[in-house]
Amino acid sequence: MRPVTKADAPARDVARRLASDAPRHALAAICDIVRRTPVLTSRSLSDQCGGTILLKAENLQRTGSFKLRGALVKIAAGAAGGGVVAGSAGNHAQSLAYAARARGIACEVFMPDGASVAKVAAVRGFGGTVHLGGDSVDAAVAQARERAKETGATFVHPFDDPDVIVGQGTLGLELLDHVPDLAMVVVPLGGGGLTGGVAGVVKAARPDVRVVGVQAAACAPFAASIAAGRPLEAGGAATIADGIAVKRPGGLTLPLVDEFVDELCAVSEDDIAAAIMLLLERAKLVVEGGGAVGVAALLTGAVRPASSGSTVVVLSGGNIDSGLLAEITRRHETAVGRRLRLFTRVSDRPGGLAALLACIAQTGANLMTIEHVRDAVPLAVRQTGVDVLLETRGAEHAETIIAGLRDAGYVVERHEPRLDRP
């Protein structure tokens, strides 16, 4: 642990609040709006990873994420009579707009030009005024700060704010109340508001509970920042865990994470995608990339569950873009062999394609798409390339299909799945 500095004094004040009755009072102040989200058992995860694994389904929270807790507590602190303003591209914007409408105050949100159309519509649907401009969330936050100065509205930071952190800490209270044998909490780590708040509350009541923070490897600034003793900006790449893609920790949250979190780890894009699919198929839960990183860490062995007692994984949000979810699903179907994309060559004479299709039909595959490919591939004279997408019964059936085509004399190339965009 790094040496305590004068800059950590505000964080120590937050830590004292987390250890006091403040989170309990905060939960009482927001319980008319915030759902006490369920803690669900997961037999499949427990069987795969060992131990007893539970899921804190915060993806089922109103607005689809934990952010509503902090937004409501900030407003309940009483300094938002003139309205609230924030810069955000997603969950923070939606939650603040929802909270402001519930409490009868105005809300303005600055969002980058590239913000999701669905998320912009959600903010407006919750009664927030949206200003689009700039090419990044950082630019949107800067605009929001200026707007707050102009109007006297309260600027609400998405994570580096004492009231917001205490609000996120109410999730830790629910874990303590609902899981008597709590031994470990695995929390997604972005800016650190959720992780610091939950860890501070849990550790104050149960110092023996282990807390693990999980980042997306594409944007993971905490380890280097803790080592340096100050927030450092990571060279973050695009990630499907956009909800936790925070390049620079907060001045409050960094000391809290350093003090209360026992372990940090990071997971890859492929691992996050696999976790999203497992939660969808096995738990019937739609979880965004940032919310699924804890499950990814368990599945890969980056985090070992507690040998006794319960390990709770926080599913922090469910606001995944429908197009991205569809792409991840298609990629997964290909990876497990239920979708098979093949390239081969046939005679470019009458009957050449029909012979291939007859061979495919004999294998029992379902043809989904077929395309002639005559450009940018090596072909003999009077030959055409054919790209086919097949629906199969699984990996074993896929291998049978490939073997059957090769036995019939076709040279078959299999397209491997990849995630084309974050």
In the chain, what are the domain boundaries?
6-61+164-328, 81-155, 338-414
Q: Residue 212 pairs with which residues in a beta bridge? A: 186, 263
Region 397-414 average pLDDT:
94
Is residue 20 part of the annotated active site? The answer reads no
Write down the catalytic residue from 67, 119, 203, 247. Answer: 67
Please name the CATH architecture into which domain 338-414 falls: 2-Layer Sandwich (3.30)
pLDDT in the model for residue 80: 63
Residue 29 C-beta-side C-alpha neighbours within 13 Å: 23
Mean residue pLDDT of the chain comes to 92
* Chain segment 77-109, per-residue pLDDT in tens: 876 678 999 998 789 999 999 999 999 999 999
Region 220-246 average pLDDT:
90
SS3 318: coil
pLDDT in the model for residue 236: 66
From 317, 207, 315, 180, select the one nearest 261 (Cα to Cα): 207
CA 234 to chain centre: 18
Matching CATH topology for 81-155 and 338-414? no
User: Please, is 68 exposed, middle or buried when counting C-beta atoms within 10 Å of its C-beta (0-12, 13-18, 19+)?
Assistant: buried
Is residue 44 part of the annotated active site? The answer reads no
Would you say residue 75 has pLDDT above 60? yes
Class of 81-155 in CATH = alpha beta
* Chain segment 38-53, per-residue pLDDT in tens: 999 999 999 999 999 9
pLDDT in the model for residue 136: 77
Write down the catalytic residue from 42, 225, 310, 316. Answer: 316
Sequence-ordered list of residues with C-beta below 8 angstroms from that of 261, at least 6 positions apart, any chain:
189, 195, 196, 199, 211, 212, 213
Residue 216 C-beta-side C-alpha neighbours within 13 Å: 29
Please name the CATH architecture into which domain 6-61+164-328 falls: 3-Layer(aba) Sandwich (3.40)
Region 8-14 average pLDDT:
91
